[in-house]
């Protein structure tokens, strides 16, 4: 099984410096692209590869790039931004790439910037990834020194400047337009769309924002071709995928596997459930996805199949709910996070999420009434898609609405027993 993204990552040794990265074939794709390929050639390769964005939305990367203005009349400067603000609870896949092989990201950004003819690139990094910040800054400086960044790259006419920007710790900055506001020194609130960033993004100029994992795929597509990339997958969505598992499994971690690997296989890589614990449910793609249960274990982990099962692939990082953990307390913990991280821009999110959190806490303590359950159901609708300015609140409602569907018995036990029925199992 090929693992193009992680084959040179080992935490038993330091991440690859420039010369080591070049010895593994690093920057060969940049040399190939700038000497042999036009920007349009790379755009067509990426479109044909069926690469979908790995940040959660799963939108076609080639289609996204195709919306950027090209040609002599296109506005400049154009911007490319790597979204490395990985703050989704339960998600840690980009950290593996950032700390394990930072030059891979930089090469992917150079190729992507060339494909859209960007002039300036930014890495927008989560504040807490301090090790990654040091490694990325060192790697950027090495790339400048080797002529891969700066003026007239590899002696050609195209130039690219690259900067590392560390965020201040808001989940909202992961939303691409809020990220743009933060980069401009403004409050990190989402923007109205249209206009879309591809036409009017950072400082009003054409901008592409891509996830770290997405950008790391680009050198391999340029080196090996679209058909090769598609052949790595088990489904119609090309490539491998970084999948993660956290919770009460024997070996929590992150693995690069073919797109379309099933949930059951991924849990096998994680060593299965710890002794004394059974699987009760799982969030397949981070904290803002709907629960799936044992009946879904053979679901392929691709965007189409997980959607058909009633959830979203999201970031592809599973959070396991075991039978000794209270689903109400589990969801309350998530809603506490989302309520804190709301930017406060729109009323349903700003006012609704604290009410959801307060109601769940009341249920967890055994102080609620049946009307509180109906209040939660109402909020899953009122904070759902189409009722808020961005996707934060609708995403927060996904684990709640599915918990009310799959674990209603647990909610009702809290009401009838006037306490959390899992309190005696916490020692497990």
Residue 57's pLDDT is what? Answer: 86
Is residue 373 included in any domain, yes or no? yes
pTM, rounded to two decimals: 0.94
74 and 221 within one domain = yes
Assess whether 336 and 246 both reside in one domain: no
Low-confidence ranges of the chain (pLDDT < 50): 426-428
pLDDT score of 337: 96
Residue 13 lies in a domain: no
Q: For residue 365, how far is the Cα from the chain centroid?
A: 33
Parallel, antiparallel, or unpaired: how do β-strands 279-283 and 207-211 relate?
unpaired
CA 294 to CA 280: how far, in whole Å? Answer: 7
* Helix intervals (H) in 71-159: 93-100, 102-116, 130-145
pLDDT at 358: 96
**Domain C-terminal end among 261, 288, 322:** 322
Indicate if 223 and 359 belong to the same structural domain. no
Q: Dihedral angle at the C-alpha atoms of 167, 82, 256, 261, nearest 10 degrees?
A: 100
- pLDDT score recorded for residue 428: 39
Same domain, 252 and 347: no
Query: Does residue 5 lie within any of the structural domains?
Result: no
Residues 210 and 337 reside in one and the same domain: no
Angstrom distances, CA of residue 381 to CA of 76, 167, 340, 349, 359: 42, 32, 20, 12, 16
Residue 6 lies in a domain: no
Among the candidates 208, 231, 254, a domain finishes at 231
CATH of residue 306: 3.10.20.600
Angle at 213 between CA 211 and CA 215, to 5 degrees: 70
Q: Are residues 36 and 163 in the same domain?
A: yes
For residue 122, give the H/E element and its range: strand 120-125
Same domain, 412 and 288: no
Output the six-digit token pair for 46. Answer: 């990426």
Domain of 294 in residue numbering reads as: 240-322
Residue 208 exposure: Cα atoms within 13 Å on the Cβ side:
34
Q: CATH number, domain at 152?
A: 3.40.50.11540
Q: Are residues 178 and 314 in the same domain?
A: no
Name the token pair of 371.
């009307």
Tell me the pLDDT tens digit for each residue of 6-33: 999 998 899 999 999 999 999 999 999 9
CATH code: domain of residue 355: 1.20.1440.230
Please state, in angstroms and rounded to a whole number, the distance separating the CA atoms of residues 170 and 179. 10
The residues near 57 (Cβ < 8 Å, ≥ 6 apart) are none
Total domains in the fold of the chain: 3
Quick one: 174 and 248 in the same domain?
Answer: no
Structure tokens at 6: 């992680």
Which runs of E-coded beta strand occur in 49-100? 79-84
CA angle 426, 407, 357 (to 5 degrees): 75
Strand partners, 273: 249
245 and 222 fall within a common domain: no
CA-CA distance, 153 to 144, in Å (whole number)?
9
Please indicate, yes or no, whether residues 107 and 26 belong to a single structural domain of this protein: yes
pLDDT of residue 1: 81
Tens-place pLDDT, residues 362-375: 999 999 999 999 99
From 184, 210, 231, the end of a domain falls on 231
Report the b/e string of 25-42 with b at 16+ CB within 10 A. Answer: ebbebbeebbeebebeeb
Dihedral, CA atoms, 163, 111, 178, 169, nearest 10 degrees?
A: -50
Same-domain status, 142 and 157 = yes
């Amino acid at each position: 099984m090929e693992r193009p993204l992680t084959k040179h990552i080992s935490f038993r040794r330091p991440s690859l410096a420039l010369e080591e990265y070049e010895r593994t074939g690093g920057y060969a794709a940049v040399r190939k692209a700038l000497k042999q390929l036009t920007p349009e050639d790379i755009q067509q390769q990426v479109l044909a590869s069926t690469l979908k964005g790995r940040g959660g939305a799963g939108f076609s990367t080639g289609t996204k790039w195709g919306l950027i203005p090209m040609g002599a009349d296109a506005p400049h400067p154009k911007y490319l931004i790597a979204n490395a603000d990985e703050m989704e609870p339960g998600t840690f896949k980009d950290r593996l790439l950032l700390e394990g092989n930072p030059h891979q990201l930089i090469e992917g950004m150079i190729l992507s910037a060339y494909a859209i003819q960007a002039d300036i690139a930014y890495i927008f990094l989560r504040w807490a990834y301090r090790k990654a910040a040091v490694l990325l800054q060192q790697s950027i400086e090495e790339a400048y020194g080797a002529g891969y960044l700066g003026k007239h790259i590899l002696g050609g006419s195209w130039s690219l400047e690259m900067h590392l920007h560390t965020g201040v710790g808001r989940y909202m900055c992961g939303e691409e337009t809020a990220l743009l506001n933060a980069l401009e020194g403004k409050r990190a609130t989402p923007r109205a769309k249209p206009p879309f960033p591809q036409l009017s993004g950072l400082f009003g100029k054409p901008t592409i924002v891509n996830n770290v994992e997405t950008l790391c795929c680009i050198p391999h597509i340029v080196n090996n071709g679209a058909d090769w990339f598609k052949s790595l997958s088990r489904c119609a969505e090309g490539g491998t995928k970084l999948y993660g598992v956290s919770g009460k499994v024997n070996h929590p971690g992150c693995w690069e596997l073919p797109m379309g690997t099933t949930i059951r296989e991924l849990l096998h890589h994680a060593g299965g459930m710890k002794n004394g614990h059974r699987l009760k449910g799982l969030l397949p793609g981070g904290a803002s996805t709907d629960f799936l249960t044992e009946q879904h274990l053979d679901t392929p982990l691709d965007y189409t199949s997980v959607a058909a099962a009633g959830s979203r692939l999201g970031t592809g990082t599973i959070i396991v709910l075991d039978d000794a953990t209270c689903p109400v307390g589990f969801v309350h913990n998530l809603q506490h996070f989302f309520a804190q991280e709301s930017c406060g821009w729109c009323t349903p999110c700003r006012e609704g999420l604290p009410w959801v959190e307060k109601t769940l806490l009341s249920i967890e303590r055994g102080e609620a009434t049946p009307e509180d359950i109906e209040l939660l159901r109402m909020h899953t609708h009122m904070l759902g898609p189409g009722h808020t300015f961005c996707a934060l609140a609708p995403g927060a409602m996904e684990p709640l609405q599915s918990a009310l569907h799959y674990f209603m018995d647990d909610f009702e036990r809290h009401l009838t027993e006037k306490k959390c029925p899992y309190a005696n199992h916490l020692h497990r």
